[in-house]
Amino acid sequence: MRKDADIPRVQWTGLNAAWPAIQGFRMDRAPCKNKVCPGKVPHGAGVTLCYICTTFKTTKGRLPTNAEISQLMSKGQKLEAARAKAGPDPACGDCGRKESFIAVKHLVHHLAPGVLLCGACVMQLKAHGVMHTAEEKAKLVGVSALISRRRTEEVLCDNCAVPESFQLTRQHIYNAEVGQVLCSACDSYRRMFGRDRDPAYEIRLTRRLVRHSRTGTNSGKRGCQCIASSAMLLKLKTNMNTTTIAIPVRYCAKLAIYIFASTRSTKIQLQRYADRS
C-alpha cells in the first residue's frame, strides 16, 4: 500500500516516545505501587501511583493508609475494588446469593465497606441499618432457588405435587416457615389452619358435594346453598342482601370463606361456610 500510494519510507523518530496502545476493547491497566491501594494506572504512562495516591503524596508527603484511601475513594471506585477482590460471579456478603441468580448486580453500602451486597440486603441496610436475620436469609435463598428451578424444570408443589403450569391464579410460593414450595391452595390452607392440606380428603369431599348438588340436597350450612357442581356456585343469604359467588371446588373443603358484600356505605360480613360433614 505504501508503494501504491507513493509514500516514501521514512524513519519517524518521534513515534518512539508514544505510549504503547494495547489492542482490545479497553486499555489494560497495572496495579498501583501502593500495596494497600486497589487503584489502577495505565501501562506506559510513566506513573506508578494512582490519582488518589499521587495527590495525597503531593499534599502530605507520604502514601495514604488503607483507611485514608477508603475515605478518599468515590462510590464507583469502591464498587470496582470490591468486584476485583470478589472475583467472577460474586456472592452477596449477607445472604450468600450469587450475582447470576439476580437480575440486578451487587452493590456496596457505606455501612458495610468493601462488601458486595444484593439489592435486597442493600435495602435492608438503608431501611433498618442492620443485616438480615437468619430466617430472612433462608427465605431469600429459598426464593432464589425457586426462581432458578423455574428456568430449567417444572416446579411441583411439595404437598400435593400439582405442577405450577396448572395454576390458574398465581405461581407457586416458597413458604419459609416449613421450607417448602407450595401451591396457592396449600399455602393458604397452612397459613389459615397451621397444618398441611390433605388433597385426598378434598377429592372425597368434592365428590360428595357434587353428588348432593345433582340430587338437589342442601349440602351447605349456615345460609350457604350449593346449587351447581362445575364451579361450586354458593348462594349466601343475609337479611339485607343475597350474593351468589363462584368458588373453585378445591377451595371448598375444610376452608373458611368470608365474603364481604357492600350495601351502600356499610360492609356486611356474611355467614361463614365450613364443611362439617
Q: Write the pLDDT tens digit of every residue in 46-104.
A: 678 888 888 888 888 888 888 888 777 777 777 877 887 788 888 888 888 888 877 78
Give the C-alpha separation, 124 to 152, whole Å.
Answer: 30
Greater model confidence, 205 or 222: 205
Provide the pLDDT confidence category of residue 255 given band limits of 50, 70 and 90.
very low
User: Does the pLDDT of residue 243 top 50, yes or no?
Assistant: no
Q: What pLDDT, on a 0 to 100 scale, did the predictor assign at position 189?
A: 85
Residue 67 lies in a domain: yes
Residue 230 lies in a domain: yes
Q: What percent of the chain has pLDDT over 70?
A: 62
Average pLDDT over residues 127-142: 84
Residue 6 lies in a domain: no
Q: What pLDDT, on a 0 to 100 scale, did the predictor assign at position 14?
A: 54
User: Does the pLDDT of residue 180 top 50, yes or no?
Assistant: yes
Residue 38 lies in a domain: yes
Q: What pLDDT, on a 0 to 100 scale, did the predictor assign at position 10?
A: 59
Kindly report whether the global pTM for this prediction surpasses the value 0.75: no
Provide the pLDDT confidence category of residue 43 given band limits of 50, 70 and 90.
low
When divided into structural domains, the chain yields a total of: 2
Q: What pLDDT, on a 0 to 100 scale, did the predictor assign at position 263?
A: 35
Provide the pLDDT confidence category of residue 125 given band limits of 50, 70 and 90.
confident
Q: What percent of the chain has pLDDT over 90?
A: 0
Distances (CA, A) of 170 to 148, 166, 184: 17, 10, 7
Decide which of 73, 105, 138 is a domain's last residue.
Answer: 73
Residue 182 lies in a domain: no
Residue 66 lies in a domain: yes
Decide which of 39, 73, 107 is a domain's last residue.
Answer: 73
DSSP track, the chain: -TTTTT------GGGGGSPPPPPSSS--EEEPSSTT---EEETTSS--S-HHHHHHHHHHSS---HHHHHHHS-HHHHHHHHHHHH-SSPBPTTT--BGGGSSSPPEEETTEEEEEE-HHHHHHHHHHSSPPPHHHHHHHHHHHHHHHHHHHS--B-TTT--BGGG-SS---EEETTTTEEE-HHHHHHHHHHSS---HHHHHHHHHHHHHHHHHT-----SSEEE--SSS-EEEEE-SS-EEEEE--GGGSSS--B--EEEETTEEEE---B----
Domain interval for residue 233: 199-269
Residue 249 lies in a domain: yes
Decide which of 38, 54, 73 is a domain's last residue.
Answer: 73
Residue 204 lies in a domain: yes
